[in-house]
Amino acid sequence: MSKQVFINLPVTDLKKSMSFYETIGFKNNPQFSDDTSACMVVNDTIFVMLLTHEKFQQFTSKPIIDAKSTVGVLNSLSMSSNDELNNFVASALKAGGREYREPQDFGFMQLRCFEDLDGHNWEATYVDMSKMPAQ
């Protein structure tokens, strides 16, 4: 069985956050969602758990950061093409996200970064292995 990754994010408005993540292509799994949390499916092995602050606080004794002013993690997803990368970020911006740095072109790799409604950072990358520098 493949390992699964669950990214747990505290959110201030669960419904708005669900809408944001649905707009960028994640699917809600209602089996693991309620009025305090939502399981957003990226693919068969990656899930984003959106948790109200009250729910999130049940899992830690540490204070919840304000992700709009403090960075705790950079969440990165690979894309299968540069078009997919650009469409993904365009969807995030349309849904209310904010691109927090200029797009990067490393020749073999494209990188774009945005934050969600609560300021959680996401990086989208496309790596063209045929352009990868020789080692």
End-to-end CA distance of the chain: 33
Domain with 91, as residue range(s), is 65-135
Last residue of a domain, one of 11, 38, 61: 61
* 71 and 55 belong to one structural domain: no
The whole-number pLDDT of residue 1 equals: 77
The whole-number pLDDT of residue 133 equals: 80
* 79 and 50 belong to one structural domain: no
The whole-number pLDDT of residue 18 equals: 98
Pairing outcome for strands 74-78 and 121-127: parallel
* 73 and 51 belong to one structural domain: no
Q: Which three-class secondary structure state does DSSP give residue 24?
A: coil
The secondary structure of residue 45, as a DSSP letter, is S
CB neighbour class for 17 (10 Å; exposed up to 12, middle 13-18, buried from 19): buried
The whole-number pLDDT of residue 48 equals: 98
Last residue of a domain, one of 61, 76, 94: 61
The whole-number pLDDT of residue 79 equals: 97
* 79 and 131 belong to one structural domain: yes
* 11 and 71 belong to one structural domain: no
* 82 and 42 belong to one structural domain: no
* 76 and 93 belong to one structural domain: yes
Q: CATH number for the domain including 47?
A: 3.10.180.10
Q: Where are the alpha helices (DSSP H) in 1-135?
A: 14-23, 53-57, 82-94
Which parts of the chain have pLDDT scores under 50?
none
The whole-number pLDDT of residue 5 equals: 97
pTM: 0.93
The whole-number pLDDT of residue 88 equals: 98
Sheet holding 37-41, edge to edge: 5-11, 46-52, 37-41, 27-29
| Number of compact structural domains in the chain | 2
* 129 and 80 belong to one structural domain: yes
